[in-house]
Structure 1
């Protein structure tokens, strides 16, 4: 079930708790938790409804300007039934908790065993250590460039990085990736075991990270030296919009993050 970035922000704010979709059959179940850029969104109800019974309150709760706008959005595929889907913000993505939690020695050993299994299961050979190493060396670099460093097709590389993300070892950014605390601990343990030096990593910038804004806005803000929420919190909207790549949606996400 696709939920737009604007709708996701409204779900987090608690101003949107319904979605209406035309489906042949329900595509989500009550209790389903969807992982999104803002965290977990849980499905609280799924009911087939007659569009003629929808109300202005339904439209408001679904984020539409009014009932007429909601019905216009449902005008396509009129032969399909309409489903009323209740949704709510269900908290932080568990992978985010993993990413910032340093693992114990036992957890590092278990993670390394899991990586060994991923290597053995790969038809293209061992890949986990090289992938973690290239992300460690080139944080925030685009995926095609990282894939090229390893001589791998980009789709295949990105698929494997998602496996590392599931383990809480990497974090996807608007541009590229970076190792998490958990990932760095696993990499460092492997280097020590091999008698190799542990790299010195640049400390994370002080302050609150910017929310996900998309690559163009992220590049524009980074070029202007604006890398934290505190750095942009008090900037006038006109100044932000003057940066090529920063649009109204990015500004809205910044303002929403400042207000939380």
Structure 2
């Protein structure tokens, strides 16, 4: 029932968006070459799907995203679990993180290209940087909020530190980590597309740049639609993973 309601709301929302889009085109009397209407963009979407162009670029972008995102999540969670348990060490590292965190991953692109060359690796590194800090900070903050009583009870039972981390700390902090995972999905996907628009020869970002250079704004808008839909699906996938973990730990009903 919940999914059905979400589906209905999504249809209504997109219908309103398309209606406003069409109204702006008509009211502003824009030429199709400058601001393509929904019907022309739909034709562009169909053409990109039927000729296989979308599949090629989408596969490349998803491969880069998954590689960079998953590696960042694993490293950030492991570091966060450790640093959150050692306040003295985190006190030294925290200022460094706060200085590096606001720097756009794209700003590192000249060095990334010099160090890793041209290809998939630079885009993966950019995604890693974009996803790393939100997950790290949410993990550290969550570990520091774990109820001390749980840890004292575990110590009284002489449970090993690794088991405390695996059975007590990680389940307790996961809901907070999940927020970081959602934020990281959005930021990493944005910077993936930005990185592909700067120095790649494939991917959804390159698709937009190539269409712009050809003055095919209908395909530019089609690429924007694909990027938005793909980002939405990725965010929902993280939500489904979160619900699955919560069901395993008995935090919500199936």
TM-score normalised by the chain length of structure 2: 0.20
Structure 1 or 2: more helix by fraction:
2
TM-score normalised by the chain length of structure 1: 0.19
